Structure 1
């Protein structure tokens, strides 16, 4: 073989390799997923598992637009600046077709702004701050999980039934906690005008002095307590309050506490009889959830957490939107998601055209102790469409952004 023939063969082989690479890229539809995996493993290991279960089902059914769905996961280090850098990298280097993700509110607000600046579609999956869809909302950003206002509004009917006049409030001192308490006070006053809020305790996130807080609440002599603490702050407060008898004879209404992510670490210190939002996964008697639960347990040999549902539903929502759009072009996705309906483990969900918020709902029930651990044995599902403020207020907030 002469040198010319050898060079020709090498060039031909290189051409085949490039063609194969291009074909492979065309056969894959890439989703860029950004989240706080290192900072919130108790939330985001189940989230990723739920997402990958949905992706398996989507690909087994033929993929998206004839292409295999692939997700590239990136960690935002719980930092808005890092999240924006990850988004840039995913778009420019990885050439992802769509951006999604986020659990922490301040990171969600940052990526909402990024989507607006770059004019790219972004599905915010789990940030609770309502700024993502209202104050800072934009046409490029949609959100799956119900936000802070809806969470607080979901427990107000049960709180009002208690007929308690003197309430203590405890919440982490940042946007989520402040907004949740404001929404709870606003909505409870509408149905119980004579209610009094006798003390507000707002420790910095992750830095609670549980003993001092419990004592301050006891000194105020409330009839009931509204709690917005979560994670390690909730664990410390629940244990200290139990040891001091703070909850004896007092009703407690608490956001997020019925989620297995937060109940499990408490073990036998878990609260008994609190009114909570959460996820009674063992007793949701609908075909959609039964199918999800069976598939999740089969794949992971574990029970799902609420974030498993959020991850699973997010991937399914993206699949439905992409199929409806027939494309991953931003403008076509924006149009497709307006009023998009898809099926989640909690039943049908719609993305509201007025604010890009999905109607994924919230379970409200009471905690219990079973076999040495906290559980949420049952709950009433409240559709997200019933937990929003007035259309006029939403319009004003979005127009101001």
Structure 2
């Protein structure tokens, strides 16, 4: 996951090495904390460091580790150093729940982050709600987390699937047409994303076909043959991580880019860079983008991040970074690490420019606990001025505009007893 064009290796040793390298760069280690006799603020993070979503998960961990070092260098949280404890959910719901309980019951964490996998994030939220632990979902997108299943203790950094679908649909319809084919993962994220796209497309008078495939699918040939026969204007590749990369490769191997456009919600920096040049294409959303030359805070952050980690930050790195700083800001406001007090402090909290890292006002909406950032809509392409220059933003869509009202989400927030 460096800034070279070498394709990613997702083997476990690479993932663990990356985590160790970041940890080694921290300014204060847990051993120094203990030597001082201080009790650290413990934050537990559960993410799929193995499996098809591991590259995305590792970036979230990298961003959180970077923020941990930054926060510890400037005095910690409530005058105490911060210790981030990371567990691998292995992209499995049962494992994710088990690791969450372990972090809370045995490791006595004050806060929980996770998971990239929306199904795991939702299952974790059942545990954190029961235990009254403040929980941030950095990168699990399925709508109910801050919609029909919203909880007083759960906040989310990444967009809902509805936000991403609403942001990019007008561009896809305008540029290519209203006949679409979906390739969608058969789990919580895929279901809500396709539902959101169908709703937005139907409003525009469009038609669609598609297939639901396993989250770890490897062979897309039958689905792509079906798509070719349907002759859509756009194929929407809604898969994630390694499965999305494999689908993109097979799409271009079949020469289908000559017959239809490509697009969808997310084609993330990690995934674009892992694709061959002819598969670095299509119109998508980025939930944060590193190349914002007119935002000085972003220019400084990207420069500092590259120097410390030897990589360019992606939206996933930003998710982890924002999550850590949200805890710092909330604790400073609440003067406490108690779940209910942290939650109250974050409701309608606006991120400062050096954390928001984009133009305009970025806040956690009180009604559903969803962060309201800009959504970067644009085009993926082979590298231009550098290995990470693989996306050009066409327009910024305000999060509030794409999200609709709190009533639209179905969230009915119940306060803690």
TM-score normalized by the length of structure 2: 0.83
CA change 1:181–1:241 in 2 (3 A) is same
Count of residues in Structure 1 that have an aligned counterpart in Structure 2: 374
Report the counterpart of residue 187 of structure 1 in structure 2: 200
Q: 2:266 aligns with which of 236, 242, 256?
A: 256
Gaps in structure 1 of 5+ consecutive residues: 1-19
Residue 136 of structure 1: CA displacement? Answer: 1.6
1:336 matched to 2:312? The reply is: no
Provide the secondary structure at the position in 2 that maps to 1:255. strand
- Give the distance between the partners of 1:46 and 1:397, measured in 2 at CA: 32
Residue 230 of structure 1: CA displacement? Answer: 2.5
1:246 matched to 2:256? The reply is: yes
Report the counterpart of residue 160 of structure 2 in structure 1: 147
CA change 1:32–1:157 in 2 (3 A) is same
- How does 1:178-257 map onto structure 2 within 5 Å? 178-190=191-203, 192-193=204-205, 195-197=206-208, 199-257=209-267
- How does 1:109-120 map onto structure 2 within 5 Å? 109-120=122-133
Report the counterpart of residue 310 of structure 1 in structure 2: 319
TM-score normalized by the length of structure 1: 0.86
CA contact 2:168–2:377 (8 Å) conserved in 1: yes
Report the counterpart of residue 54 of structure 1 in structure 2: 67
Root-mean-square deviation (Å): 2.3
Give per-residue Cα distances to partners, 1:140-194, cap 9 Å, x unaligned.
Answer: 111111121111111012023126132222212222112111111211222x22x
- How does 1:261-340 map onto structure 2 within 5 Å? 261-272=270-281, 274-278=282-286, 280-340=289-349
1:29 matched to 2:38? The reply is: no
CA contact 2:60–2:138 (8 Å) conserved in 1: no
- Give the distance between the partners of 2:242 and 2:49, measured in 1 at CA: 17
Residue 376 of structure 1: CA displacement? Answer: 0.9
Residue 267 of structure 1: CA displacement? Answer: 2.6
Report the counterpart of residue 107 of structure 2 in structure 1: 94
Which structure's CA Rg is the greater one?
A: 1
- Give the distance between the partners of 1:203 and 1:253, measured in 2 at CA: 18
- Give the distance between the partners of 2:102 and 2:143, measured in 1 at CA: 27
- Give the distance between the partners of 2:154 and 2:178, measured in 1 at CA: 40
- Give the distance between the partners of 1:397 and 1:21, measured in 2 at CA: 42
